[in-house]
Structure 1
Amino acid sequence: MSVVLCVTLWPNPGFEEEMVAYEDGVLALLPEHGSRVVARVRTLSDAAASEGAEPPFETQIIELPDDSALDSYMRDPRRLAGADVRDRAIARTEIQRVSLA
């Protein structure tokens, strides 16, 4: 059974470009794990925050064949090697399992 994730990301202030570069790199690894980016979108700069909450900078929909592929991707040494960049650039990440409609 496939796994579909909705990933929302908030960069640290001033680190938007570094976050995008990091995500470009790690998302490029997905096909090697039999997975794909279904969609990758960014919030418009003039979007109003709802109820005072800051909207995410980027939202990704990722489809993986199964939990084993997700584990393999999460443990990929190339992905893990960028942990320092991720920690510096990304303030918050939320991941939800979703279904494609």
Structure 2
Amino acid sequence: MSLTLCVQLWAVPGNEALLEAYEDEVLGLLGEHGARLLQRVRSLVAGDGPYEVQIIELPGEAALESYMADPRRLASADLRDRAVARTEIARVAQI
């Protein structure tokens, strides 16, 4: 059963460019796990909300687990720690 995720990302203040670089890198791995990025948007105004929001579709739990455990993604953990202050992931349905 496929699943759709809404991923909200808050940048470490001043490290927005690092967040963008990290996400460019790891989102490029999605296709190898059968997943696809449906939407990726960024806030135009600094505020309390997330800096970036993504909608990602995966074929199922196994694909999500495989993506999360991808060694290339895990190797970027240091960059992620410097760039991302907070992440919220919600399972959603398209309506």
User: Which TM-score band (shorter chain)?
Assistant: over 0.9
Matched, 1:26 2:22: no
Could you say what the CA RMSD is over the residues aligned between the two structures, in angstroms?
1.0
Task: Give the deviation of 1:55 after TM superposition.
Answer: 0.8
Aligned partner (choices 52, 74, 86) of residue 68 of structure 2: 74
> How many pairs are equivalent?
95
Q: For residues 78 and 60 of structure 1, what CA distance do their matches in structure 2 show?
A: 20
Task: Give the deviation of 1:39 after TM superposition.
Answer: 0.1
Q: Structure 1: which 5+ runs fail to align?
A: none
CA displacement, residues 20-50 of structure 1 (integer Å, 9 cap, x when unaligned): 000000000000000000000011216xx5x
Task: Give the deviation of 1:7 after TM superposition.
Answer: 0.2
Larger Rg: 1
CA displacement, residues 54-89 of structure 1 (integer Å, 9 cap, x when unaligned): 011000000000000000000000000000110111
Q: For residues 22 and 82 of structure 2, what CA distance do their matches in structure 1 show?
A: 10
Q: For residues 26 and 51 of structure 2, what CA distance do their matches in structure 1 show?
A: 17
Matched, 1:56 2:50: yes
**Letter of the 1:76 counterpart:** D
Secondary structure at the aligned position of 2:56 is classed as: strand
Q: Structure 2: which 5+ runs fail to align?
A: none
Q: For residues 50 and 9 of structure 2, what CA distance do their matches in structure 1 show?
A: 5
